[in-house]
């Protein structure tokens, strides 16, 4: 677990902060459904990456696309936009 | 050298002298002539500002905010529905501590649609952390632009400022004014020295998410900056008087002006141009030996609490006359003045008169009616006014109302 940069944060004028401090806010815990990519079907068009509102889909070194579950909120837009239906939304279980 | 100028010309001249870097503009009556005149100055090369023709007032305020974040001096102008559209980025600008200066040609809010003036547009922005100046005449509308820049851009303040002038009554009337030049204004208004600047070589995040454990303190700091702005306004009016020989409420830290108020037993409190008519009526009463006076706040936020308490404390009755109504209660100015006076131990009865909405003329007889009703309260206490009857509409044309509302 990263040290919480907010812990002893002093507020600068206008609450101006260094970039990337919000990475500590792992929004993946908000998710009720997770996207699951079927790499057999995936044609690596990159639509899911472009449409993801949280930049939580990244291209892998193999040229495929993977979801960063630390930040994916499970909105399902990637599954909706996938032209070959390679992404399905699967209910999260406790 | 004195010149005859309309309010919009005078504001445009003031902006030219203050020399902003970026001017996003979107038209709305009766403000349009301000940005139209500025666009001519840019086209003619008199002004080298980046003039950005945007697609809405939301964009105008957002562009000004972004430019201010990059360290620029900015200007834009609007009113009424346009100010509503700017409201969201303006609240953000105060939270982000970014100075912006706006001229507001005060106009009513829909519905019904009206292009004429009152103060409901800027009063609706009261809680957003913007400094609010109100001008009585064209000269003051011009001078307030320079003062707004100086206070808003002060490093300790860093807030948006609205420089308000009554739509049509001041924007479109010609008065004799003493314009100031860019050279003259340099002595009064230093170059902007931004606290933080957007710079790709030194990245920063502005307007970021704040958790509940930090947000309160950012708002507290905006509040402290607002209160501190009172001192800065006091310094600004003093230095302005030294350089330009024009005085704005020097005895009251530049936050309010008085007219024949010293020994008055009835005081009228009002913002903006209506005070001109009120002065005329006060002179008539004074000729008959009746002690009537005027208190005119020049600044509504930060609220001149101490100065108002000081100047109002010896009155026997007060009328707060305003072009605004907080629907479901009373006029916003009256609410604030009652809060200031009554929490300071005052027992002066206060009547609230709602006048001049959507450009309805406030005539001499209206002012006389207000004075006469207020005179009756001399020697009485606030509780002598029947609860719910302290707010009066001058005039209310009851013949226009549906029968059951009369």
Task: Give contacts of B226 with chain A, Cβ < 8 Å.
Answer: none
- At A2 the pLDDT is 54
* Cβ–Cβ < 8 Å for B323, B108: no
Query: Is B97 within 8 Å of chain A by CB?
Result: yes
- At B377 the pLDDT is 96
Burial class (CB in 10 A: 0-12, 13-18, 19+), B247: middle
Query: Is A11 within 8 Å of chain B by CB?
Result: yes
A-B contacts (CB, under 8 Å): 51
The Cα–Cα gap between B257 and B296 comes to: 5
Question: In 10 A of CB B51, how many CB atoms?
Answer: 17
With CA atoms as reference, the chain B residue closest to A16 would be: B206
Task: Give contacts of B209 with chain A, Cβ < 8 Å.
Answer: 22, 25
Task: Give contacts of A12 with chain B, Cβ < 8 Å.
Answer: 196
The Cα–Cα gap between A48 and A75 comes to: 12
| Alpha carbon separation from A73 to A30, A54, A70, A88, B210 (Å, rounded) | 6, 8, 9, 14, 19
Quote the strand ranges of B41-150, DSSP E: 50-53, 75-78, 101-106, 131-134
pTM above 0.80, yes or no: yes
Give the DSSP letter of residue A68.
-
The minimal CB distance from B205 to the residues A13, A16, A25 is found for A16
Domain spans of chain A, in order of start: 26-91
In angstroms, what separates the C-alpha of B70 from chain A's closest C-alpha? 13
pLDDT in tens, B295-354: 999 999 999 999 999 999 999 999 999 999 999 999 999 999 999 999 999 999 999 999
The mean of the pLDDT values for chain B is 96
Q: Which fold has domain A26-91?
A: Alpha-Beta Plaits (3.30.70)
Backbone φ and ψ of A85, nearest 5°: 55, 40
The Cα–Cα gap between B52 and B186 comes to: 25
- At B148 the pLDDT is 98
Assembly ipTM: 0.73
User: Best mutation site among B97, B100, B159, B200 for testing chain A: the one with the most A CBs within 10 Å?
Assistant: B97
Is the Cβ pair A16, B221 closer than 8 Å? no
In angstroms, what separates the C-alpha of B343 from chain A's closest C-alpha? 32
- At A1 the pLDDT is 47
Average pLDDT of span A8-36: 88
Tokens at residue B214, please? 């930090």
- At A11 the pLDDT is 82
Does the pLDDT of residue A8 top 80, yes or no?
A: no
Give the DSSP letter of residue B150.
H
Is the Cβ pair A17, B204 closer than 8 Å? yes
Query: Is A1 within 8 Å of chain B by CB?
Result: no
Tokens at residue B164, please? 């308000």
Sign, Cα dihedral of B150, B156, B160, B165: negative
In the numeric block, the tokens 């609240």 are attached to: B91
- At B210 the pLDDT is 86
pLDDT in tens, A41-81: 999 999 999 999 999 999 999 899 999 999 999 999 999 99
Tokens at residue A84, please? 């070959």
The minimal CB distance from B218 to the residues A6, A15, A19 is found for A15
Quote the strand ranges of B232-340, DSSP E: 256-259, 266-269, 292-297, 299-301, 317-322
Q: What is the separation of C-alpha B210 from the centre of its chain, rounded to a whole number of angstroms?
A: 30
Coil, strand, or helix at residue B130?
Answer: coil
**Residues 6 or more apart whose Cβ sits within 8 Å of residue B291:** B263, B264, B265, B266, B285
Tokens at residue B276, please? 């001109």
The Cα–Cα gap between A39 and A58 comes to: 14
The mean of the pLDDT values for chain A is 91
What DSSP string runs through B211-235?
-HHHHHHHHHHHHHHHHHHHHHHHH
The Cα–Cα gap between B286 and B244 comes to: 31
Please report the domains of chain B, with CATH numbers, ordered by start residue: 3-244 (3.40.50.970), 256-405 (3.40.50.920)
The Cα–Cα gap between A51 and B198 comes to: 27
Backbone φ and ψ of B381, nearest 5°: -115, 160
User: Best mutation site among A9, A10, A16 for testing chain B: the one with the most B CBs within 10 Å?
Assistant: A16
Is the Cβ pair A19, B204 closer than 8 Å? yes
* Cβ–Cβ < 8 Å for B374, B291: no
Of A2-16, A76-90, B230-244, the least confident: A2-16
| β B101-106/B75-78 pair status | parallel
Give the DSSP letter of residue B74.
B
Query: Is A14 within 8 Å of chain B by CB?
Result: yes
The Cα–Cα gap between B173 and B176 comes to: 10
* Cβ–Cβ < 8 Å for B98, B64: no
The Cα–Cα gap between A82 and B117 comes to: 53
User: pLDDT tens digits, chain B, 406 residues: what are they?
Assistant: 899 999 999 999 999 999 999 999 999 999 999 999 999 999 999 999 999 999 999 999 999 999 999 999 999 999 999 999 999 999 999 999 999 999 999 999 999 999 999 999 999 999 999 999 999 999 999 999 999 999 999 999 999 999 999 999 999 999 999 999 999 999 999 999 998 999 999 999 998 888 888 899 999 999 999 999 999 999 999 999 999 999 999 999 999 999 999 999 999 999 999 999 999 999 999 999 999 999 999 999 999 999 999 999 999 999 999 999 999 999 999 999 999 999 999 999 999 999 999 999 999 999 999 999 999 999 999 999 988 888 999 999 999 998 877 6
pLDDT in tens, B186-218: 999 999 999 899 999 999 999 888 888 889 999
Tokens at residue B123, please? 């009063």
With CA atoms as reference, the chain A residue closest to B155 would be: A13
The Cα–Cα gap between B35 and B214 comes to: 39
């Amino acid at each position: 677990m990263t040290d919480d940069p907010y812990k002893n944060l002093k507020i600068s004028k206008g609450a101006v902060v260094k970039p990337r401090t919000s990475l500590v806010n792992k929004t993946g815990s908000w998710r009720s459904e997770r996207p699951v990519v079927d790499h057999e079907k995936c044609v690596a068009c990159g639509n899911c990456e472009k449409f993801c509102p949280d930049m939580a889909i990244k291209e892998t070194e193999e040229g495929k696309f993977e979801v960063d579950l630390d930040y994916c909120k499970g909105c399902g837009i990637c599954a909706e936009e996938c032209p070959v239906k390679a992404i399905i939304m699967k209910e999260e279980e406790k | 050298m004195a010149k005859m100028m309309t309010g919009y010309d005078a504001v445009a001249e003031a902006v030219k002298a203050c020399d902003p870097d970026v001017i996003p503009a979107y038209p709305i009556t009766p403000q349009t002539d301000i940005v139209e005149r500025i666009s001519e100055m840019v086209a003619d090369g008199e002004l080298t500002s980046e003039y950005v023709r945007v697609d809405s007032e939301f964009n105008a305020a957002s562009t000004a905010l972004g430019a201010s974040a990059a360290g620029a001096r900015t200007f834009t102008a609007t009113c009424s529905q346009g100010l509503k559209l700017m409201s969201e980025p303006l609240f953000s600008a105060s939270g982000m501590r970014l100075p912006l200066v706006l001229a507001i040609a005060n106009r009513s809010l829909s519905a019904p649609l009206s292009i004429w003036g009152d103060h409901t547009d800027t009063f609706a922005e009261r809680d957003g952390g913007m400094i609010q100046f109100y001008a009585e005449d064209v000269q003051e509308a011009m001078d307030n632009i320079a003062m707004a820049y100086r206070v808003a851009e002060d490093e300790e303040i860093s807030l948006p400022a609205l420089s308000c002038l009554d739509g049509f009554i001041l924007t479109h009337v010609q008065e004799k004014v003493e314009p100031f030049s860019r050279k003259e204004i340099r002595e009064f208004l230093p170059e902007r020295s931004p606290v933080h600047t957007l710079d790709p070589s030194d990245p920063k995040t502005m307007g970021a998410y704040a958790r509940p454990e930090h947000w309160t303190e950012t708002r507290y700091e905006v509040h402290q900056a607002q209160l501190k702005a009172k001192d800065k306004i006091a310094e600004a009016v003093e230095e302005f008087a030294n350089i330009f020989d024009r005085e704005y409420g020097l005895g009251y830290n530049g936050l309010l002006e008085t007219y024949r108020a010293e020994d008055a037993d009835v005081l009228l409190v009002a913002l903006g141009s209506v005070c001109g008519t009120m002065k005329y009526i006060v002179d008539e009463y004074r000729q008959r030996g009746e002690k009537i006076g005027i208190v005119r706040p020049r600044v509504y936020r930060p609220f001149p609490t101490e100065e108002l308490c000081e100047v109002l404390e010896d009155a026997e009755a007060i009328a707060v006359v305003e072009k605004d109504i907080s629907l479901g209660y009373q006029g916003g100015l009256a609410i604030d003045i009652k809060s200031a006076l009554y929490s300071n131990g005052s027992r002066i009865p206060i009547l609230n008169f709602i006048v001049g909405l959507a450009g309805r003329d406030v005539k001499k007889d209206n002012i006389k009616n207000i004075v006469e009703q207020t005179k009756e309260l001399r020697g009485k206490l606030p509780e002598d006014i029947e609860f719910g009857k302290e707010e009066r509409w001058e005039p209310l044309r009851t013949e226009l109302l549906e029968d059951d509302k009369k």
